[in-house]
Structure 1
Amino acid sequence: MVCLLTQICFIYIAQPHSTAHVHAKRQSTTLSWQDPLASSIPTITLFTLVALCLATFARKVRKGYHDFLALGPGGTPSTPAGYLRICVLRIFTLRNPLNPPYIPSYIHPQSGILNDLPKRIGSRPEVVGIAPQRQMTDRGPNAIYAALTATIKALSLRHPDSLFLGVSRFEKHNTGLFSLPRCQSHLTCNGEICHSHAYDGSMHLTLHPADVKTIIEKGWGERHPLARESWWWRFRFVPPTFVLIYSPRTMEELRCVTQIIYAASWWISGIDLRKFDPDNGITPAAAHEQEYQQLQKQQQKSSEAESDGVRTDQVWSSYSTELNANASQASASGTTTCDMPGFPMGGT
């Protein structure tokens, strides 16, 4: 009797285990039957994720390339190769272009000449791009930009012994103001002082580090994204004090921008041209007057040449020839060469 009860208890206790074992066996059989499908699910999921990532990346690249083209011509070619170069350089851009540069102890004087520059009214405009770098909002009217270009030209006419006009070596599409080699105090790209942008009315120029701090604090501009302070970087791209000056919106702002151009000329050439200008700045009216007087002088030379049997067109081109000679002299001098193909010293 005891043996019979023991066998019944054993069977009762062992039965659930046997059932579990059967279920486990069935489940194992089921899983083994589903193995091919189960192993393909992660592959399909991974392929889908990769395809989505590639599509998102392609869409972002396409948008970035079209945004790059929309900025207009600059020192960087408007090609896929040029855009790829900008994407690489974006890794090295300044984290904050509103941080002023360091003033090295070897720079004399330690202070700039824009201490009396007033504060710019309004907020900062939106600035995008690297090369080209452009102002997208709050631009000045075309008439103000025309006056700005006339002012730059008048400066070269008023000071032909130290300044001349030429094609910008930074951007290659706009007219730049240059310092003659014998007058250069600090090297830039062949002595370039500044150049303006017809696209947005802004300017690029190089200033004393203290003046860069002033124009940032007063709201007149910001540093170029590639204006890094490494000693080897400045000889390959742009100087550490290379800045964008916002487009002037009024005649009063144009006068302030003119003072900034004077400061850039002083930094590059070492000559404070304000001492030679009685109005301490060139107004648009004075700029056009300077140009008119220069044309009158050329006309007088033309009349004298006609009396001597010299062709008029040769005389009228003498001034242009002189500018080209100055530019050639600057290129042949010991100044820094812009040697990066399609991206000279930053291609702004």
Structure 2
Amino acid sequence: MTDTSAIARDHRLPKTYAAELLVIDHGSGVYLYDTAGKRYLDMGAGIAVNALGYGRDDLADIAAAQMRKLIHISNLYTTEPTVRLARALTDAQIGAFNPDFSAVHFGNSGAEANEAALKYARAYATRTRGPGHHKLLSLLGGFHGRTTGALALTHTPSYREPFEPLMPGVDYLPLNDVEALESRMSPSYAGVIVEPVQGEGGLRRLSPEFAAALNRLCRTHDVVLIADEVQSGLGRTGRLFGSESVGLEPDIVTLSKPIAGGLPLSATLVTRRINDALALGDHGSTFGGGPVTTAVALRVWEEISSEEFLSEVRRRAEHLDRRLRAMAAADPAVGEPLGLGLLRGLPILAAAEQQKTVMASLIATARENGLL
């Protein structure tokens, strides 16, 4: 099948995706090209995955070389790229805060990384305080994945309702409500999971006051603090970890999306005091941390973690901020910019009943003009 319109109409993919898909042929830099040769400026980056752009020969060469050497071995054994990446990740600090990471569990997606974090939190609470301390706390507007455990942490009704009842024992708080956090927090909770900058939740960031309260209360009650950095981590805010940008001091950090330059990989970084909560056989992943993805991820990490790269992100973020503020000032239908670093957006000030129509029209017009 080579006709683009035929592929788009008869793609045989599930109904959970668009009825008619744009058929992409290849990419280069920040641009994508469809099968008809039309060029698009890609502002979505594969849902925040392709942070280093398309057509990277160095990443392709690393993947090809490793594939010729060894593609898969499972976690019954290990490989040099896997060990080297684990060392690099666990040696990282969150700005001036040294979390003392001692282990990393590799998976294939952000949802898997968050599922591993939940296991660590609940196992730690059971080991240190006994059964019954299993509850989890999440924030309204948060998004943590599509698997049933991760979905239970997501409050958005449209995501949850088709699959309820979901995992019990999850409570929700408003973002940045310190008073609500102080009144709710107790040793009955095993863990709290937050995004430094909410992605699906409208690019709202944790306030310094709320982050400080989370740090303090989680330490006081020995509750595991989980930073879901699947979208806001790895340089996107201008710092290596989004937690640094907002002042969060987590026990567990989850990473995915850009970590392997477009290949499926996730990482759950665990501090030393939490690491012993899981014993041999308590968790695993057949494909997580394979030699091909970790070999590529080492090159991505080398680039993203460099101060030169992060400084350039901050420089471009300042330019983007100025341009977004100018757009907001010039158009009464556009609100003040949201987000942080290069994870930004503009709210469209339409009436609630018109939001979907306005956004659909905006997206379609942008696509027609070569902007995704």
**TM-score normalised per structure 2:** 0.23
Structure with bigger strand share is 2
